[in-house]
Chain A
Amino acid sequence: MMQSQIVSRPRYRELAAEDTAGAHLLIVEGDTLAPGQMAALAAAFAPVADRLQTWLVSAPATALALGKVRKLQTVDEAAAALDALQEGFGIADRLYLQGTEPFMWSLATVAGRAGLSASQIRMQHAGSLKRRVWCTHCHQTTENVTTNIATCAGCGRELLVRDHFSRRLGAFMGVMVDAEVPGEVPQREEVFP
């Protein structure tokens, strides 16, 4: 489900530090960390360790990380912290994100509002394939969707979850599945575990 014919569906790559002169901020969704993954990240970011900050979000208390470490409880808290960065971002800075798509895109959109361009943000998917879904009918978003068909949290319609992705909203498109024949809703299956 990480591959799609739909070109708006983002692709993610293994994180690697870009050796630029700016500040490097790595934000990791702690509860998606597989064993050994933090060590892999530490190796990948060793070249920029002196100008690296690592934010661990919802990580086990014992988790270790590289650079100057900050621990945060939730993605909302991390987003608020990103938004509140006094000094702002520089043109040579880089932001690296690792976690589920809703996690990464929540932070990427905040960073974008702070002026960071897409070319300064790198992402590596980890953990669940769950999706944030945006309803094309009521424009509300539904979180933590793991099934091909989901009930919209805004209007209650049964939505077919598509691969079309909005970088602005950090969400996949959901369209009413039984618009043609009301009540004819296909079998709901867990496809984004």
Chain B
Amino acid sequence: MIGETLELTVVAVDDIAPSLRHVRLAAADGGQLPPAAAGANIQLRLQGEARTWRNAYSLISQPGRRDEYEIIVRRVPESRGGSAFVHEVLKPGDRLVASWPGNLFAPQRTARHHLMIAGGIGITPFLSYVADFAHNGTSHALHVCCRESETGTFAPWLQACGDLNYYWDADGHRLDIPALLAQQPAGTHLYVCGPAALNDEVIQAAADAGWPASHVHCEHFGAALSGGTPFTAFLSRSGIEVEVGESESLLEAIERIGATAPCLCRGGACGVCVTGVLEGEPEHRDHYLGAAEREGGQLIMPCVSRARSARLVLDL
């Protein structure tokens, strides 16, 4: 099983809601999978007819479980194709190549209390969190903002949740974020995972209320945002020029022409894919570079960021 990538077999696919597909994966050789902790994700290589997608998904299986990985994939209407592939093409018995599990959103082990806020499919990392906290008897609360019709969808993974609250977009059912954040005991760590607007609102509300930044954690799902106006990238070291289409990321375009680029999260969070920019103006969409680095314009995260100029020259 040791290698740069994992060979997986699809054990089962199950539609748990009209746009949500639950996928169970096992090692193709029938052996054990590498263990993954709460909050971990894997990157799946989805081989379509015309193109390949590499999408990262949170593992929702019991942390440490080695016989199967489970993920839940939401079908996104303006999908770049990866989620549509999972919903339309993927079937039991299919083989997939995946990365080893990575974890950029692990729970803080010193926390006295874990306060989780999920928006929509952003609940997935918290399914493994809840399993971990329930198993260890750690104090926790989960606040889920979702469609009213989906409040029961994740129940099978949340039976052990000690404090579970649902909110949806109707009078009397919306989450009052400032009120929730106002009365939390010292030693609480706050986690948010959802659409960018929710993440930003929670992070701002926490700062306004006086939460130390060290106690506020966020996971973005950024890959869905990596499309945009087409542009040209020139890889100066390899001497190759590549056209980046509107529905693919710069990283995907680089991979499409066969160049290997290091990457991990594919969502602009981990910093592994950071690449030098020699010419052109990047359009930064990541959560990794600091303000000074962004302004410097010398670095880019190709997994999510694009170009303001028609052409970018990369040190690759």
Seen from chain A, the residues whose Cβ lies within 8 Å of a Cβ on chain B are 18-22, 88-94, 114-117, 119-120
Contacts and interface: CB of A to CB of B under 8 A. Distances in A.
A89 B212 contact: no
Closest 9 CB pairs of A and B: A20-B210, A115-B187, A92-B210, A89-B186, A119-B212, A115-B186, A91-B184, A119-B214, A116-B186
> Is the interface on chain B under 10, 10 to 19, 20 to 34, or 35 or more residues?
10 to 19
B226 to A, nearest CB: 33
Contact of A90 (B185, B213, B214): B185
Contact of A21 (B182, B185, B186, B214): B182
Contacts of A92: 182, 209-211
A117 B210 contact: no
13 contacts: A21-B182, A22-B210, A88-B185, A88-B186, A91-B186, A91-B188, A91-B209, A91-B211, A92-B209, A92-B211, A115-B186, A117-B187, A119-B214
Contacts of B95: none
Contacts of A19: 210
A115 B187 CA distance: 5
B135 to A, nearest CB: 22
Contacts of A114: 186
A117 B214 contact: yes
A113 B215 CA distance: 17
Contact of B186 (A18, A20, A90): A90
B112 A115 contact: yes
Contacts of B181: 91
Contacts of B209: 20-22, 91-92
A25 to B, nearest CB: 12
Contacts, number: 54
A119 B188 CA distance: 13
Contacts of B183: 90
Contacts of A22: 209-210
A73 B182 CA distance: 33
Contacts of A90: 183-186
Given A21-B209, A115-B112, A91 B185 contact: yes
Contacts of B213: 119
A109 to B, nearest CB: 14
B212 A120 contact: yes
B215 A119 contact: yes
B212 A117 contact: yes
Contacts of A115: 112, 185-187
Contacts of B210: 18-22, 91-94
Nearest to B207: A20
A18 B209 CA distance: 11
Nearest to A114: B186
A127 to B, nearest CB: 28
B120 to A, nearest CB: 26
B257 to A, nearest CB: 46
B210 to A, nearest CB: 2
Nearest to A93: B186
Nearest to B212: A119
A120 B186 contact: yes
A138 B192 CA distance: 46
Interface string B227-245: 0000000000000000000
B213 to A, nearest CB: 8
Contacts of B212: 91, 117, 119-120
Nearest to A92: B210
Contacts of A94: 210
Interface in B131-183: 181-183
A89 to B, nearest CB: 4
Contacts of A89: 185-186
